[in-house]
Every structure is written in structure tokens, then in C-alpha cells.
Amino acid sequence: MQYAVCCVPVSPIKKEPFHNAEMISQQLFGEQCTVLEMIPGWIKIRCKYDNYEGWSQSGHLVEIDEDQFANTNKKLASGWINEVSYNGEKMFVPFGSSLATFKKDNAVWNSNLINYKGKKYNPPGGKINKKNIKWISGKYLNTSYLWGGKSVFGIDCSGFTQSVYKFLNIYLPRDSWQQAELGDTVDHLHGTNCGDLCFFENEEGRITHVGLLLNNHTIIHSSGKVRIDKIDNVGIINSDTGQQRTHKIKLIKRYFSG
């Protein structure tokens, strides 16, 4: 097997090939990967979208051919959950699942017949507007924080920003420190636009958190859950208490002109 696709709603990607190993990321239904190594029960993969590597359970993947892997279709599932028929059995897949290998509403993965019955979204190729950013990010609102998570069922801070930007047709790598290496620096909070990303540091100055600015005083981010908080030049102000600053600003980046 050289190429594979995720055939379950959400598949954990583990640091090591053990059930109790750390989950470092996830694949959503329809997302593709390159097979690097196979052992009984586990497959080491490299995700097509962000080149992230880790171990996936072999039962969560199905072989696809080179043409399917090379497909440049970027359509995504746009309902919060979406119905799929997989060999005649009903399954529900989350917001952001990939429809890259589908022709119209159908796909064949190594003789498995899949029919997609949900809503579809084609990421824009032109100017990005605030309405889209707020609609996409709002889909994740109140989703619980999950280390390594990338779905509306559980998501971490950089998984959230990467997933929102995927809907905007803008590539971001998986981890917050990697995301901070891209884009143009915005010098001051008052000069920010909706969709800019704000990065936060720990006491050692290392980037440990990221969120998406809705304007120059409001941020949506995954911390405990995906939530909207106030922000000032120092950092995030917890909206529940109105006082506690939970994160200290390191830098702000812009990835598109608006």
C-alpha cells in the first residue's frame, strides 16, 4: 500500500503505535496520506495536507490509487455532521471532512462504495470576507479542547486555526510555532483585521497558543473549549471573569489581504 484515505469519521494519529500513546493529530474522513511503514494493526502515515507524520490504526485507512491521491479537488463537508453511505451502511462525518476523491457525490475506495449525502463547501479562490471567517470559526464554538484534536468533536488551538484556514483555501502547518513562521507581522493590535492570528508565549518565550482575531479587541480560540474572549495589548482577558489574563501576546500574523 502506497496511498490511503481515512474511512472513519475521525481517526487519531499517535506518536507511537500503541493505543495508549500520545495523540498528536487526527485525520478526518476522506483525508489522504502516504503510507510510510506497516506493522500488524498499525500504519505509519504522512498526511497529504500538512506532511504531519504519525501512526494510525490500520482499520481506519483504505487504500486508494495514485490518481485519487493526486486529485486537487478541495471540496469539504460543510454541515456540522454529514451523512455518508459506506457500502450501504449509514455513517456521520464531521464538518471539514474531505471530499477530494469524490466525483459528484460518489467515491470508490479499493472496491468500497461511498455516497455522500451532506452539504458541500468549495473554498474560495478570491477575496476572503469577514462573513466567511465568522461563519467558519463559529462552527467550532464551544467545541471542547482536545490535545491533538482537529474536529468539531474536540480540537486544540492550532488545529482550530489550521481547520478554519483550510476552509479559506489558505494552507497552514499543524503546530502553532510552525504557523507563526509564515505570514506577515502586524505590529500593533489596533492595526489588525478579522482573520489575523495572534500567537502567545509562555514564561520562556516559547509559542504555546494561537487564536483567531475577530477584530482588534475580540479573539476566538480553543482554550478549555472554543470560546470568544476579549484581548488587549497584553493578552487575553477571560470573558467569564473580566479580569484574568490567560495568555501573553508574542506576535500577530496576517496571511491574506482584506
> Residue 227: which of 122, 142, 128, 100 has the closest Cα?
142
Domains of the chain: 3-121 (2.30.30.40), 130-254 (3.90.1720.10)
Q: What is the pLDDT of residue 125?
A: 77
Q: What is the pLDDT of residue 241?
A: 78
Low-confidence ranges of the chain (pLDDT < 70): 243-244, 258
Q: Return the C-alpha cell found at 118.
A: 451532506
Q: Return the C-alpha cell found at 112.
A: 468500497
Residue 240 neighbours by CB under 8 Å, 6+ apart: none
Q: How many CA atoms lie within 13 A of 217 on its CB side?
A: 1
Give the integer Cα–Cα distance in Å for 102 and 50: 20
Q: What is the pLDDT of residue 245?
A: 73
Q: Taking the C-alpha atoms of 215, 220, 221 and 226 in order, what is their torsion angle to the nearest 10 degrees?
A: 180
Give the rounded distance of the alpha carbon of 118 from its chain centre. 19
Q: What is the pLDDT of residue 219?
A: 98
Q: What is the pLDDT of residue 258?
A: 65
- CA triple 248-195-161, angle to 5 deg: 70
Contact 5, 61 (CB under 8 A): yes
Q: What is the pLDDT of residue 85?
A: 98
Contact 29, 81 (CB under 8 A): no
* Tens-place pLDDT, residues 117-168: 999 999 987 778 999 999 999 999 999 999 999 999 999 999 999 999 999 9
Q: What is the pLDDT of residue 119?
A: 95
Contact 223, 147 (CB under 8 A): no
Q: What is the pLDDT of residue 249?
A: 94
